[in-house]
Amino acid sequence: MNKLVFVITKAFLMFLAVSLAAQTTQAQAPDLPGEGPLLLPGTETSKMNLLTLGLRISSDFDDNALNSDKNQQENLVASIQPHLGWHLSRTRLDWAVDYTPGVSRSQSLSVYDSFSHLLDSRFQLKLAKRLRLRIHESFLKSTNPFDQLRASESAAGPAVRDVPNATVPATLAEVRTEQASADIVYALSAHSTAGIGGDFFSASYNLSSGGQLPGQVLQNTRSAGGHGYYSRQFSRRQWTGFDYYVQKIILNSGESWSLVHSLAYTHTIRLSRPMMLSFFAGPERSVTANLTEVSSPSGPVFSAGYSSWRWTGGATAIWSGVRTSLTARLSRRVSVDGILGAVSLSSTSAEVNRQFARQWTARLLASYDDSKALAGSGAFAYVSAAGGLTRTVSPNLSIALQYWRVHVLSQSFLPAGFLSDHNRISMSITYEFAYPLGR
User: CATH number, domain at 166?
Assistant: 2.40.160
Q: What confidence score (pLDDT) does residue 220 get?
A: 83
What DSSP state is assigned to residue 210? T
Q: Cα(239)–Cα(431) distance, rounded to whole angstroms? A: 41
Q: What confidence score (pLDDT) does residue 413 get?
A: 59
Contacts of 403 (CB under 8 A, 6+ apart): 386, 387, 388, 423, 424, 425, 426
Q: Cα(14)–Cα(349) distance, rounded to whole angstroms? A: 31
Q: What confidence score (pLDDT) does residue 290 get?
A: 74
CA distances from 423 to 62, 66, 163, 296, 389 (A): 6, 12, 24, 51, 17
Q: Which phi and psi angles does 49 have, rounded to 5°?
A: -145, 95
Q: What confidence score (pLDDT) does residue 75 get?
A: 87
Of 251, 252, 232, the residue nearest 242 (C-alpha): 232
Q: What confidence score (pLDDT) does residue 26 get?
A: 32
- Which of 119-128's residues contact partners 24+ apart within 8 Å by CB, and which partners? 121/95, 121/96, 121/97, 122/94, 122/95, 122/96, 123/93, 123/94, 123/95, 123/96, 124/93, 124/94, 124/95, 125/92, 125/93, 126/41, 126/91, 126/92, 126/93
Average pLDDT, 10 consecutive residues per value, the chain (439 residues) = 42 36 32 42 66 95 79 87 94 93 87 86 93 93 76 47 47 80 93 93 73 57 92 91 92 82 94 90 89 47 69 93 92 82 88 90 92 79 90 94 86 61 91 86
Domain of residue 332: give its range.
Answer: 2-436
Of 406, 405, 414, 330, the residue nearest 372 (C-alpha): 414
- The model carries a pTM of 0.78
Total domains present in the chain: 1
> Would you say 329 and 159 are in contact if contact means Cβ atoms under 8 Å apart?
yes
Q: What confidence score (pLDDT) does residue 232 get?
A: 92
- Give the amino acid at 162: D
Q: What confidence score (pLDDT) does residue 103 get?
A: 92
**Max CA pair span of the chain:** 74
